[in-house]
């Protein structure tokens, strides 16, 4: 760098970006060589000395990664900066790990280029006009050395890359909120953070997730503003907190409030850029989650409606599925099995006979006994039901419970002849609930059994057919507990 001017080679296949980069670098008084493809860039590198190589990552033919690879073999320590057209984080991380000096994300501004030029000048130990001290201070904009900047950037990229993955995999709103806050705090090293969601009336902010407040403010509390939050937390006045808005479908739903009480002033520009990206990813995840919840409830409702329609086809079974769901939930509550199992049997119960959809009405509504062939046909319904539900990722466990609701403890049931606990617990619960409802409901050929007589019958088959523990729990429920709300006329 004899003239004190950086000699920069730029490789970029988009002519407009190439020209723009050339102009920006010339404003920064660099000597610029422009190449519109990777192959000619490699040729120029072998012919002339450069202080900095700027290359697009994805170009037809020779890519930016190849230039990085080959130029580091040909030149010694010339910084290579890769340009990425999008937040392609895997590539960016790969590039940093393989020795790229930095990654520039499009669109870039003059400030990005100026910052880069200063850092490279600092790296070469030379500064324009001999103002070494000034340049050293400007390196990185925050007084950080290039290695520190790289480490910070790499950490930020890792946080961003990880947050995209974590957010995408989280289907629980509470967990998602916690993950968003944790990622944002980790990314900028914040000690205190809260995720605030606007209340329905929009005049208050509910604390959806919070960290580092030592109980001065808790999750679920409401505050009038982010300032009130910091007042309650006793944040020293010299610390400037940040609030990053969170939006869903273009509507601001709240924000993330972050502070670091041990560092005076505010977060850096780079921190804010990273937080913006985390907030964007969080917004997408929140949007997807609401979409997912909508799809999920639409499918649930559709399936329930289908099952109810099926029940309604036969006046003797009207309301059967919902009653089975209700009894199954009562068993869960009695045994304190927890919300998860309870929800599972509620949905699986409502859909347990959905496979009967494929059975002809003549068999389904037959008033006399079924012939052996008809009975075999009837026995297909758990598998047909499983086939209907299994394609939905969020109905996997329901599908399995539906498949096995006619298994027997002694292996004599169908469709798979599973023994004992080989049939999952929700299926065993449905089996007891199903039998109870069948027996207490009137049939064309018999009167409904009483509650007591039915319990006696369940006890008789506890062991070979039903799980005895579940029958015990069921038997301890009073007929009043078992009065299912509004499920049809035939319940006794």
Residues that bind Fe ion (CB under 5 A): 353, 434
Indicate the residue among 170 and 441 with the shorter CB distance to Fe ion: 441
C-alpha span between 436 and 330 (Å, rounded): 13
Rounded to a whole number of angstroms, the minimum distance from the CB of residue 331 to Fe ion is 15
Rounded to a whole number of angstroms, the minimum distance from the CB of residue 256 to Fe ion is 48
Rounded to a whole number of angstroms, the minimum distance from the CB of residue 208 to Fe ion is 41
C-alpha span between 187 and 274 (Å, rounded): 7
Phi, psi of 301 (to 5 degrees): -60, -40
Q: Residues 176, 256: contact at Cβ < 8 Å?
A: no
Rounded to a whole number of angstroms, the minimum distance from the CB of residue 477 to Fe ion is 19
Indicate the residue among 178 and 382 with the shorter CB distance to Fe ion: 382
Q: Residues 245, 270: contact at Cβ < 8 Å?
A: no
Indicate the residue among 283 and 330 with the shorter CB distance to Fe ion: 330
Indicate the residue among 109 and 445 with the shorter CB distance to Fe ion: 445
Indicate the residue among 286 and 401 with the shorter CB distance to Fe ion: 401
For residue 184, with 0-12 CB atoms within 10 Å meaning exposed, 13-18 middle and 19 or more buried, which class applies? buried
Rounded to a whole number of angstroms, the minimum distance from the CB of residue 342 to Fe ion is 19
The structure tokens listed for 321 are: 């599925």
Rounded to a whole number of angstroms, the minimum distance from the CB of residue 382 to Fe ion is 6
C-alpha span between 44 and 469 (Å, rounded): 80
Task: Encode 102-132: b = buried (16+ Cβ within 10 Å), e = exposed.
Answer: bbbbbebeeeebbbbbbbbbbbbebbbeeee
Q: Residues 280, 260: contact at Cβ < 8 Å?
A: no
Indicate the residue among 257 and 350 with the shorter CB distance to Fe ion: 350
Of 468, 479, 467, 482, the residue nearest 423 (C-alpha): 467
Indicate the residue among 210 and 401 with the shorter CB distance to Fe ion: 401
Of 312, 317, 344, 316, the residue nearest 328 (C-alpha): 344
Rounded to a whole number of angstroms, the minimum distance from the CB of residue 337 to Fe ion is 21
């Amino acid at each position: 760098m004899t003239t004190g001017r950086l000699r920069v080679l730029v490789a970029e296949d988009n002519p407009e970006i190439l020209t723009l980069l050339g102009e920006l670098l010339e404003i920064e008084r660099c000597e610029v060589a422009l190449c519109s493809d990777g192959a000619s860039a490699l040729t120029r590198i072998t012919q002339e000395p450069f202080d900095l190589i700027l290359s697009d990552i994805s170009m037809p033919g020779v890519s930016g990664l190849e230039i990085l690879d080959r130029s580091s073999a040909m030149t010694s320590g010339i910084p290579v900066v890769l340009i990425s057209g999008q937040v392609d984080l895997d590539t960016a991380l790969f590039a940093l790990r393989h020795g790229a000096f930095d990654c520039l994300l499009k669109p870039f501004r003059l400030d990005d280029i100026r910052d880069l030029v200063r850092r490279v000048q600092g790296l070469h130990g030379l500064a324009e006009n001999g103002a070494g001290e000034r340049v050293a201070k400007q390196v990185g904009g925050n007084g950080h050395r290039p290695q520190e900047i790289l480490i910070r950037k790499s950490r930020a990229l890792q946080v961003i890359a990880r947050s995209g993955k974590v957010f995408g995999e989280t289907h629980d709103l509470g967990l998602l909120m916690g993950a968003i806050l944790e990622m944002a705090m980790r990314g900028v090293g914040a000690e205190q953070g809260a995720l605030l969601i606007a209340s329905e009336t929009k005049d208050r902010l509910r604390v959806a997730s919070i960290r580092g407040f030592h109980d001065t403010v808790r999750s679920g509390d409401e505050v009038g503003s982010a300032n009130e939050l910091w007042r309650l937390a006793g944040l020293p006045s010299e610390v400037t907190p940040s609030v990053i808005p969170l939006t869903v479908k273009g509507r601001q739903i709240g924000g993330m409030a972050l502070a670091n009480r041990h560092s005076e002033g505010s977060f850096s520009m780079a921190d804010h850029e990273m937080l913006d990206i985390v907030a964007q990813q969080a917004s997408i995840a929140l949007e997807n989650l609401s979409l997912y919840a909508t799809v999920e409830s639409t499918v649930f409702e559709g399936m329930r409606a289908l099952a109810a329609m099926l029940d309604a086809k036969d006046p003797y079974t009207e309301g059967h599925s919902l009653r089975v769901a209700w009894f199954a939930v009562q068993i869960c509550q009695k045994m304190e099995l927890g919300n998860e199992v309870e929800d599972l049997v509620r949905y699986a119960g409502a859909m347990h006979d959905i496979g009967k959809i494929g059975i002809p009405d003549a068999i389904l509504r037959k008033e006399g006994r079924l012939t052996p062939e008809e009975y075999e046909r009837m026995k297909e319904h758990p598998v047909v039901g499983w086939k209907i539900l299994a394609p939905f990722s969020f109905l996997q466990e329901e599908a399995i419970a539906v498949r096995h609701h006619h298994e027997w403890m002694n292996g004599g049931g169908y469709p798979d002849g599973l023994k004992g606990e080989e049939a999952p617990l929700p299926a065993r619960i449905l089996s007891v609930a199903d039998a109870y409802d069948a027996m207490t409901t009137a049939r064309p050929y018999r009167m409904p059994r009483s509650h007591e007589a039915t319990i006696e019958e369940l006890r008789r088959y506890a062991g070979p057919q039903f799980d005895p523990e579940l029958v015990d729990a069921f038997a301890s429920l009073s007929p009043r507990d078992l009065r299912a709300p509004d499920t049809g006329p035939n319940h006794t």
